[in-house]
Amino acid sequence: MKFTLSWLKDHLETDASLTEITDALTSLGLELEGVDDPAAKLGPFTIAYVREAKQHPNADRLRVCMVETGTGDVVQVVCGAPNARTGMKGVFAPAGSHIPGTGVDLKPGVIRGEESNGMLCSEREMGLSDDHDGIIDLPEDAPIGMSFAEYRGLNDPVIDIAITPDRGDCLGVRGVARDLAAKGLGTLKPLDLSPVEGTYDSPIQWARSSDIGSDVPYVAGRHFRGVKNGPSPAWMQRRLIAIGLRPISALVDITNYVSFDLGRPLHVFDAAKVQGDTLTMRRAKAGETILALDEKTYTLEDGMPVIGDAAGPQGIGGVMGGELSGCTDDTTEVFLEVALFDPIRVAETGRRLNIDSDARYRFERGLDTQGLVWGPEVTARLVQKLCGGEVSRLTTAGDIPDNRKTLTLRTDRLESFGGLAVPAEECQAILDRLGFETTRDGDVITAITPTWRNDVEHEQCLIEEVLRVRGFDAIPAVSLDRETALSQPILTLGQRRVAFAKKQLAQRGMFEAVTWSFLAKADAVTFGGDPQVLALANPISADLDAMRPSILPNLLAAAQRNTGRGYADLALFEVGPVFRGRGPKDQDMVATGIRAGKQIPRHWMETSRSPDVFDAKADVMAVLEACGAPIDRLQVGDDVAPDWYHPGRFGTLRLGPMLLARFGEIHPAIAKDYDLRGRVAAFEIFMDVIPQPKAKKGGGKTRPLLKASPLQPVGRDFAFLVDANVSAEKVVRAVLGADKALITDVSVFDVYQGADMAGKKSIALAVTLQPVDATLTDKDLDALADKVVTSVHKATGGVLRG
Amino acid sequence: MTGDADDLKAALLTRIEAASDLKELDDVRVEALGKKGRITEQMKGLGALDPEARKAAGQALNVLKETIATAIEARKFGLERDALNAKLVDDQVDVSLPARPETMGRLHPISQTLDEIIAIFGEMGFAVAEGPDIESDYYNFTALNMPAEHPARQMHDTFYMADDQGGVDMTTVLRTHTSPVQVRTMESQKPPIRIIAPGRTYRSDSDMTHTPMFHQVEGLVIDKKTHFGHLKGVLQDFCSAYFEIDDIPLQFRPSYFPFTEPSAEVDIGCSRKGGELTIGPGEGWLEILGCGMVNPKVLAMSGIDPDEYQGFAFGMGIERIAMLKYGIPDLRTFFDADLRWLKHYGFVPLEAASLVRGLTP
């Protein structure tokens, strides 16, 4: 919402400076967006008289001018303009001024041997237009020495404020002035809203169709005859131009002016073009069309409120008037529309037709219902003043709705709710200045809302009004009591585990990425998502049109981008949501990572290698351990690899039926889609599935007593020959199961599977035995070895390798 | 006798000292302490002395023997060490060579910032609540006093899920703010309530300063006595702690949100001197969050009696405050996973942010 300072002062009697006013606007909730003060830029420029302009002795196209600036000085200026001549009046810029059109700081100088101590300016140099044919040539009566900005009426700062959607009343300058007056920045000037006496009955009458209801509760109008349309007066044009509107003609400008001055949208019909003697507020029939004032034809939908005459729709209710019945320079008879449209209906109509207009903007935010009463009067006075002619008596249809509410304010709530004690008298005075009708009984104020404040609904709104007029700055900041002496744990275990996982992975050399929750539908399908369930209706772009069923494609795409930049050795992870469906329980927290390029880069002492499935497994185990999962009880599942994993280099970690993690290498065909060469290790850890530890009885964090044996552990190595398809884990478990008391650790230190093995493989194990009570004898060890061999044979069919 | 012993001792010690290798040292040992060694021989001769003399001479010889043996041991240790050191010279390496490769990764600035936010609000007694990213229009709009015709519901602002005919499912949205978690919390929990709700949020917006996904943190306090002054206090305390600047200037401007009344936008003090943005006391203001007292309609819809309970809510952009604190210039870079960016703006994964230990590693 833009307006000029002088415009504001039409409504506000004030001595406040521009800065005081703009500060007050922001503190009232009418946030200052900017001030454009042309006078500030044009400050140094004054009107000057060229006493003499003579030919420059050393340059054909230059003149040496003696310029009277009004301060008594005569300044010599060298000027190149063809129209510089003795006796003219122009605009003078003294040395030292900044020329806005060229960006040059003017310095005194000598031009071809003649001193020049200033400049006579063109419009372009002033930044006013592109005109550079010559210097500005002012009329003879222009007063020498006067500020040019003032002379041209350019000294009126334009103030731009943001209006929140609840404050439709401030979409007119008067509403802004009222708020400022309430804050004490001056007084609101009276406005002449008195009725205008009509002299004849309007030949066009307003009507409402029976089904229009609250979509158009009321409409009023007047007829004007013998008017003369033409350009509106300079003051009105200046203001309209200042706020970015194009002056068209007096009649159209009046409607725009009233809309911005008082927040009251109007429409004027050329009465001669209206067919029949009635204009009706009615619902459009589907398919009806209208050529609107923006010169576009709109096809209306069934039920949209329109203004119709005998020929058809002449306006779209609350949105835009029609071109065919619009006023032109030739208009001599006018019919005025001052209507009230339902805000929701207007918003919907505007949205469906894709029309943004100043009228729609105001109607959808709610208007002063009393504008229906004073609107026709204020407009009639302006039309008569600017266009002459006669005014008819009023024609109306419908009833003006009563939008006033009676609310109660307990003024002690200012302190207990608003945090600022404000005396009841002051609360009342503020509400009064805002236009509420109040009565007060001690600390309780009864307030009737003004007709222009549709947003004030309950006591909290009244508190807000008082607080914002007093200024939020006045409210003391109070720290919140914690209610416990010490801070308390506030995170769930699940939330902490997310943090553990992130820290663990980063400590393992991975970099945390945060990528979109959406991706291309095709990727969603490739990575196991159901496109029916995950598709967005209105994606921002075609490659982000579905919710992600996995983070892997996003990380692979990130790897592709990084590789493209020359950073191919990478380890990325993200811990974030993935989506199985769209319900609140269909969202999982998944820690996902990839390693690509070189796991170990070329190095003088290390062997370079690619990442592989066991890097992924190590990452998974590290995260699960950090998250407190029962590592010892996890089992590698025999799950079939999903399509995006290498079918032979993939595994899962399960705890019974629960799938805790998937790990492996990305299927080479998919890696290739992302331009990734070599193996790409990948994992997905399902954070929500990691079991919660059992709470200790009686709480506390005591750990079981460590029973460290005083006896040395003994190591024994075994090598088993098993079928190639027997998993190492199965062999290890069989060994562990052979004597649960004695065997404390089993590690695989060699696997051999050669062509000579005939479908078998050899697995070598180092077994750690921890004696508990007594040192193991050879006999004990032999017995144990037998148990181990038997157990492995029973579980896997494997035999001790000779 | 005594004079002989002293001479012998001196002679042996000199030779031990002079031994240049283990062989030479062993020769000395054999000569002194061997079966036919000089000390051994003298010990044998003790039997010929009378008991008194034997005792005295015996003691002296034992001392001598002990001294020589110790000296030999010491010299042997020295020679062995010298020999080892001589060998180690060949084992020398160029220690300026790089060590075995190891990489410390980095946490994303969003994780770090979130950690800091949790640490600060945790000290003020806020718990962390969560809700789904795909929300119903009820929780995202209706329950927050944004009825069916509210302009924010338009498709150019809000992402909707497609229905199974490929049309629009107007009841299922990607949450446009974390405020639905407020509603879910109020529905499931009795006051007093004190939560923050961080998470991903989505708006149909993509340009220099907007991304279709970003992170917000919501705050909600509901009890019988929390007023607008507390809202100011909490945010003042938070901003001072988070930006690590005492009494950082805040400005509360009246504004409008459907779910709060009164509502305010909050600006933080800043300076733009020399074209560089610095947070802190200065001539300028920078908007960082929106807040207000929870609208009584919202309380009532969530089953909380607005005549009995009151409180405030606020919401701020996590990327925005991360950018301001850590001087990250471009929002869009947060989601690009550019390794160079992650290395430069990321954080080492050491301890969790804490007001007592320090917010930033």
For testing contact with chain A, the best of B138, B230, B253 (most A CBs within 10 A):
B253
For testing contact with chain A, the best of B104, B108, B120, B150 (most A CBs within 10 A):
B108
CATH of domain A406-472: 3.30.56.10
Are B55 and B148 in the same domain? no
The CATH fold assigned to A714-800 is: Alpha-Beta Plaits (3.30.70)
Are B141 and B34 in the same domain? no
A475–B293 C-beta distance less than 8 A: no
Tell me if chain B has a CB within 8 Å of the CB of A542: no
Domain assignment of residue B354, yes or no: no
Residue B2 has pLDDT above 60, yes or no: no
Q: Is the alpha carbon torsion for A542, A548, A549, A555 positive or negative?
A: positive
For testing contact with chain B, the best of A166, A462, A463, A512 (most B CBs within 10 A):
A512
Structural contact between residues A616 and A683, judged by C-beta atoms closer than 8 angstroms: yes
Write out A159-202 in H/E/C secondary structure: EEEECCCCCHHHHCHHHHHHHHHHCCCCEECCCCCCCCCCCECC
- Stretch A490-519: mean pLDDT, rounded? 96
Residue B251: name the closest of B286, B203, B217 by CA.
B286
Distance of CA A513 to the CA centre of its chain: 23
Contacts (Cβ under 8 Å, ≥6 apart) of A744: A713, A768, A769, A770
Q: Which of B24, B57, B90 is at the close of a domain? A: B90
CA distance B189 to chain A (A): 15
B255–A420 C-beta distance less than 8 A: no
CA distance A540 to chain B (A): 6
Q: Which of B100, B226, B251 lies at the smallest CB-CB distance from A605? A: B100
Residue B258: name the closest of B151, B154, B138, B144 by CA.
B144
Tell me if chain A has a CB within 8 Å of the CB of B155: yes
Are B113 and B83 in the same domain? no
Domain assignment of residue B341, yes or no: yes
Rounded CA-CA distance A616/A608 in Å is 17
Tell me if chain B has a CB within 8 Å of the CB of A23: no
Cis peptide before B132 (omega within 30 of 0): no
The DSSP secondary-structure symbol of A549 reads S
Rounded CA-CA distance A33/A161 in Å is 5
Interface of B with A in 320-339 (CB under 8 A): 334-339
| pLDDT tens-digit map of A273-315 | 999 999 999 999 999 999 999 999 999 999 999 999 999 999 9
Q: Which of B122, B168, B334 lies at the smallest CB-CB distance from A537? A: B168
User: Other CB atoms closer than 10 Å to residue A750's CB: what's the count?
Assistant: 11
Domain assignment of residue B100, yes or no: no
Give the largest Cα separation in chain A, rounded: 131
Rounded CA-CA distance A734/A788 in Å is 8
Q: DSSP per residue over B222-249, as a string?
A: EESS--HHHHHHHHHHHHHHHHT-TT--
A499–B352 C-beta distance less than 8 A: yes
Query: Using 50, 70 and 90 to split pLDDT, how confident is the model at B3?
Result: low
| pLDDT tens-digit map of A564-621 | 999 999 999 999 999 999 999 999 999 999 999 998 888 999 999 999 999 999 999 9
B163–A480 C-beta distance less than 8 A: no
Please count the structural domains in chain B.
2
Q: Which residue has the tokens 């959406």?
A: A518
Are B228 and B331 in the same domain? yes
| pLDDT tens-digit map of A334-346 | 999 999 999 999 9
- For the record, the structure tokens of B232 come out as 């100011």
One-letter amino acid of A157:
P
Domain assignment of residue B286, yes or no: yes
Domain assignment of residue B102, yes or no: no
Tell me if chain A has a CB within 8 Å of the CB of B310: yes
Domain assignment of residue B95, yes or no: no
Interface of B with A in 190-219 (CB under 8 A): 200, 202, 204-206, 212-213
Return the pLDDT at B1: 45
Return the pLDDT at A107: 87
Tell me if chain B has a CB within 8 Å of the CB of A706: no
Q: Is the alpha carbon torsion for B345, B350, B355, B356 positive or negative?
A: negative
What residue numbers bound the domain in which B190 lies? 109-345
- Stretch A230-243: mean pLDDT, rounded? 91
- For the record, the structure tokens of A151 come out as 């002379």
Rounded CA-CA distance B114/B110 in Å is 6
Domain assignment of residue B360, yes or no: no
φ, ψ for residue A18 (rounded to 5)?
-55, -45
Shortest CA distance from A539: residue in chain B: B159
Residue A205: name the closest of A277, A290, A117, A119 by CA.
A277
Return the pLDDT at A346: 94
A493-689 maps to CATH 3.30.230.70: no
B168–A538 C-beta distance less than 8 A: yes
Return the pLDDT at A756: 82
- The better pLDDT of the pair B178, A139 is held by B178
A-B contacts at Cβ under 8 angstroms: 266
A516–B213 C-beta distance less than 8 A: yes
Tell me if chain B has a CB within 8 Å of the CB of A540: yes
CA distance B52 to chain A (A): 53
- Stretch A406-418: mean pLDDT, rounded? 96
Return the pLDDT at A135: 87
Are B113 and B86 in the same domain? no
Tell me if chain B has a CB within 8 Å of the CB of A510: yes
Distance of CA A218 to the CA centre of its chain: 37
A420–B212 C-beta distance less than 8 A: no
Tell me if chain B has a CB within 8 Å of the CB of A608: no
Tell me if chain B has a CB within 8 Å of the CB of A535: yes
Interface of B with A in 224-253 (CB under 8 A): 225-234, 236-237, 251-253
Rounded CA-CA distance B338/B109 in Å is 13
Identify all chain A residues contacting B100, using CB atoms and an 8 Å cutoff: 603, 605-606
Tell me if chain A has a CB within 8 Å of the CB of B356: no
Domain assignment of residue B127, yes or no: yes
Q: Which of A464, A506, A515 lies at the smallest CB-CB distance from B349? A: A506
Distance of CA A429 to the CA centre of its chain: 37
Are B77 and B219 in the same domain? no
B254–A419 C-beta distance less than 8 A: no
A420–B168 C-beta distance less than 8 A: no
Tell me if chain A has a CB within 8 Å of the CB of B126: yes
Residue A239: name the closest of A309, A299, A162, A154 by CA.
A154
Tell me if chain B has a CB within 8 Å of the CB of A493: no
- The better pLDDT of the pair B342, A95 is held by B342
Rounded CA-CA distance B131/A796 in Å is 48
Residue A145: name the closest of A234, A41, A238, A74 by CA.
A74
Where are chain A's structural domains?
2-28+164-188, 40-151, 205-398, 406-472, 493-689, 714-800
Distance of CA A517 to the CA centre of its chain: 18
Kindly state the percentage of chain A with pLDDT values over 70.
100
Q: pTM value?
A: 0.87
Would strands B310-317 and B284-294 be described as parallel, antiparallel, or unpaired?
antiparallel
Structural contact between residues A372 and A218, judged by C-beta atoms closer than 8 angstroms: yes
Shortest CA distance from B339: residue in chain A: A562
Residue A177: name the closest of A360, A6, A35 by CA.
A6
Are B53 and B114 in the same domain? no
Tell me if chain B has a CB within 8 Å of the CB of A482: yes
Rounded CA-CA distance A566/A556 in Å is 15
Are B134 and B53 in the same domain? no
- CATH number for the domain spanning B116: value is 3.30.930.10
The CATH fold assigned to A205-398 is: Phenylalanyl-tRNA Synthetase; Chain B, domain 3 (3.50.40)
Identify all chain B residues contacting A165, using CB atoms and an 8 Å cutoff: 151, 256
φ, ψ for residue A30 (rounded to 5)?
-105, 80
For testing contact with chain B, the best of A354, A410, A514 (most B CBs within 10 A):
A514
Provide the CB-side half-sphere exposure for B54 (13 A, CA): 9
- For the record, the structure tokens of A796 come out as 């896997």
Tell me if chain B has a CB within 8 Å of the CB of A500: no
| pLDDT tens-digit map of B62-89 | 888 899 899 999 999 999 998 899 889 8
Residue A492 has pLDDT above 80, yes or no: yes
| pLDDT tens-digit map of B213-227 | 999 999 999 999 999
Rounded CA-CA distance A146/A91 in Å is 10
Identify all chain B residues contacting A482, using CB atoms and an 8 Å cutoff: 123-125
Q: Which residue has the tokens 């020049």?
A: A116
Structural contact between residues A594 and A678, judged by C-beta atoms closer than 8 angstroms: no
**Entry field: residues in chain B:** 361
For testing contact with chain B, the best of A472, A519, A562, A569 (most B CBs within 10 A):
A472
B100–A164 C-beta distance less than 8 A: no
CA distances from A162 to A42, A467, B141, B294, B297 (A): 27, 19, 23, 23, 26
Residue A696 has pLDDT above 80, yes or no: no
Please list the residues that pair with A594 across neighbouring strands.
Answer: A572, A682
Q: Which of B43, B61, B90 is at the close of a domain? A: B90
- Stretch A508-533: mean pLDDT, rounded? 95
CATH of domain A40-151: 2.40.50.140
- For the record, the structure tokens of A6 come out as 């002088």
Interface of B with A in 28-87 (CB under 8 A): none
Are B243 and B181 in the same domain? yes
Q: Which of B206, B256, B261 lies at the smallest CB-CB distance from A460? A: B261
Are B193 and B303 in the same domain? yes
Shortest CA distance from A515: residue in chain B: B335
Identify all chain B residues contacting A473, using CB atoms and an 8 Å cutoff: 251-252
Would strands A658-666 and A645-655 be described as parallel, antiparallel, or unpaired?
antiparallel
Are B68 and B122 in the same domain? no
Are B232 and B302 in the same domain? yes
φ, ψ for residue A726 (rounded to 5)?
-80, 130
Tell me if chain A has a CB within 8 Å of the CB of B101: yes
A70: left (phi over 0), alpha (psi -120 to 50) or beta: left
Q: DSSP per residue over B271-309, as a string?
A: E-GGG--EESSSSEEEEEEEEEEEPHHHHHHTT--TTT-
Contacts (Cβ under 8 Å, ≥6 apart) of A738: A784, A787, A788, A790, A791, A792
Residue B120 has pLDDT above 50, yes or no: yes
Cα angle vertex A264, ends A260, A267, to 5°?
100
